[in-house]
Amino acid sequence: MGSLDGRVAIITGASRGIGANIARRLAAEGAAVALVARTLEPDTSPLPGSISEMVRRIQADGGRAAAVQADITVPQDVETIVERAEALFGPVDTLVNNAGVNFYGPALEITPKRYGLMFQMMVHAPFRLCQLAVPGMVEHGRGWIVNITSKQARHPIGPPYPDWASDGCTPYGMCKSALDRLTTGLAAELEGTGVGVNSLGTSGLVMTPGVAVVSPHTPDNAPVEPDSAMADATLALCATPPGSVTGRITYSMDLLGQPFPDGPWALSATF
């Protein structure tokens, strides 16, 4: 028996990278996982990975998984996700808002289209999914929400400012900061209901397919954390008793209690 037997989880951005690792980890602990992404089949995206492939991989390992194809940059798609997941597996008690995107560059030069897409994917969609999923969680007296955040949500101390503060991540950091405020505010509103809401970010660099394509950060200029860290940390948050851990903004290696070197996003250089 796994620590998540009987649980039903939605994971967005689950076709590759961090989301795929989280889906596999939760499924290995017994959760039925609904994998959400727009890439349903292999070779239909410039990046490797699809939710159909991940479903087959999880099922081959003995887990329960299903693909819920949706583009969370499209509000109409977001409206269907919880209903479709519950039609497959029953009431959803776990939601991992993982999907994200970053367009690096100076804040004043980002196009309105890219700015709007980032906020829809990383702010509006997670907020709406919470609105759709939480009432059922409250009704059943238990729920676990994990919002995948970033140290880029924090404020750099300066002047003088650390180099990473001007590495082209201001709009991305704005989105993640809004997501963190959703975490703390919703945690306060749901106190005593059995629903916990937490934010989890990486302690170091994770070389996902998307990061490898667009990020200026590489293993040469930033410490790389184990690929398993975010999945293990997500499980640690989701395996807690209902409502017992909530309102936390934490980072993978810190949560796991594993020493990790300071990188360019050292917490000591932020507030």
Catalytic (active site) residue 104: no
Tokens 């809401």 found at:
197
Tokens of 195: 């629903």
* Given the residues 104, 115, 161, 172, the one annotated as active site: 172
Q: Which helix (H) or strand (E) holds 35?
A: strand 32-37
Tell me the H-state helices in 120-251. 125-140, 170-189, 209-214, 229-238
Residue 14 to residue 71: CA distance in whole angstroms: 12
Beta-strand pair 32-37/94-97: unpaired
Distance CA 2, CA 23 (A): 14
Q: Write down the residue that tokens 């990061």 correspond to.
A: 211
Q: Which residues are catalytic?
A: 172
